[in-house]
Amino acid sequence: MVSVASEKEPEEASALGVIGVIWYELSGGIGPWGALRPLVALAISLIPFLYLGQHFNRQHRKALGCFVIQLPLIFSVVLWPVLFIWSIADAWWVSSGIVAKAENE
């Protein structure tokens, strides 16, 4: 089926409407909070020792587990940074999943 565009000219676009369309396209249609949530999780997970990214994603047991695990790892110069970097990546991954799940609902 072939559709033909109407010959009627579109109405004049407002600046606010254009900004709204641009924001919608940049945020992937999930809104400002959905676009910023993974970045907030990433930013607060950069604070060492507290695992705030996991708390932000409401995964308190995971954060507590990491906190308890890190106590013996603090004595290890090699293993603690691995756990710290993993927690940053995990906070980003879970937060992105929360946004994707909310978008599908």
Per residue in 36-56, pLDDT tens? 888 899 999 999 889 999 999
Domain count, the chain: 1
Average pLDDT, the chain: 82
Domain membership flag for residue 63: yes
- For the stretch 17-26, pLDDT in tens is 778 777 776 6
Q: Which two tokens stand for residue 35?
A: 């676009």
Structural domain of 74: 31-104
**Residue 84 in tokens:** 């710290």
Q: Is the pLDDT of residue 77 over 80?
A: no
Asked whether residue 3 is domain-assigned, the answer is no
Q: Which residue in 14, 16, 32 sits closest to 24, CA to CA?
A: 32
Q: Is 25 a member of any domain?
A: no
- Indicate whether 9 belongs to any domain: no
Is 7 among the domain residues?
Answer: no
